[in-house]
Structure 1
Amino acid sequence: MRKIGCCTWIFGGEDLSAIAARAVRAGLEGVEIHGDLSMDPVAAGAVFRDAGLAIWSITPGDADISHPDDGVRRRGVDYYRDLIAWSDALGHGPRIGCHGLVGRIRPVGGADEDAILADSVAKIAAMAAPRPVCFEILNRYESHQVRTVAEGLALLERAGAANLSLLPDAYHMNIEESDPAAALRAGGARIGLYHLADSNRGAVGEGHVDFAAQFAALDAIGYAGPLIVEPAAPGPDPFNTDKGPGYRDRLEAMLARSVRAIRAMGH
């Protein structure tokens, strides 16, 4: 049976102990923690450890690491330098998540931003080594760069870092990939982490994603990592977690339903 967790950022700024309690009630075994550097990493690590939960990975905060302006880009890379140091203090040895600035859906212009992104990612991977770094593949409504596994593999080739892998997400693949399961198979051993939510960004089994095909693909490529569930509560503004009163309770219920659906599929 695969281990199942969730991203903590979906609960907004809720107290970590409350998030840990929700994760336990939902039947999860670990989390991907949001890289909020204002949090005490030692205390954060202890909260989840005391609840019997692993911290498998880190969702990064927004940082523009492909901007043509040197100052903007340097601040983005510096954030990751601080994130890596912060992650060391968590005590769980998590993977470092990485992606571009969410919401920058068009080039600034006048520069090869793909080359800039590859250079920045290579720097981040070198700072983290030998810790694994997983580059998350987003969709066209969140980024104009690296929206498919094929584009992700091209990024890995340009960056040339042995500790760098890809993080595909079933929700994003639902938008960008013509055949998500085939994309996972093409990614092969370069798939380092996997996120999932259904096509409506709801609980697993409540949209039209073919999870059986994707799980079979993960088995075929020997993916041994966790399944990180990342739903959003129904409501307006996809870039805001807060969907009104009770949204955190709705998210907890969605996680519990996702666990039951995944286990019912034999995973």
Structure 2
Amino acid sequence: MKKLAIIFLLVSACEFRISDEDAREELDDIANIQFNDLEVGDKSMHYAYIDQGRDIQLVFIHGSPGSWNAFINFFKMDSLLEKFDMLAMDRPGFGNSGFGEAEPSIEKQALLIHQVLEQFPDKQLILIGHSLGGPIAARMAMDFPNDYAGMILVAPSIDPELEEDEWYRGMINTKIGAIFTPKEFEVSNDEILPLKEELEIMLPFWSKIKIPTIVIHGSNDSLVPKENADFAKRMLPDSILEVKVLDGVNHFIPWTHPQEITKAINQLADGL
């Protein structure tokens, strides 16, 4: 019941979609912010990026629900702008990437994002995935092991054994439930309902990940159990650089403790 209360609190507390015009206004000091839509098969992928010709590009992958602007504050950081190009996208079904049409397959989501990143050849790419963005980043590293230089998993939902059977998700997935559920949460529900099975499909492929990886989790995360960090350590014994569990911190690390993510970014970049 506590988790359900937190989820619906987000409805009124968070802005999950932002227009390109509003984003430009918020980022008015950054003249070279750009937006694009890439047609990939029957999907349209919307993304924001800053391309300054840097060697390293940061790739931010949001959770569920969410949109690219979950990471908009990172686009404002001078310390990152001085060293990196940055890209963040709306995952399928969110923001301006086919809003309302969920893509429950983690493998397909990983492929769609990978195809966006093919528009930026000759970059060293560091993946940063928060929450459900974590397993998607991991799947990208599994399926395209030579195309990424590093990975940061922030409060990632990656251990299938830790996925709970949450009673309210079945209720949302009904005609009556849909009437009272914001569209972002319908899409989120549609991709979280099969998540346990999707994570089980990934189990044999963790050994394919060879890139240096940092995991950051909060000890007080009530949405994604901190034991997911232990799972990462077990599955990636040779590529984990660090597992950091932040004492007293909840699930919303990109907003409450962005400095921990920037430290991890610089740690990975220094090793490239």
TM-score by length of 2: 0.37
Specify which structure has the bigger relative contact order, considering alpha-carbon pairs within 8 angstroms and separated by 6 or more residues: 1
Task: Give the structure with the higher percent strand.
Answer: 2
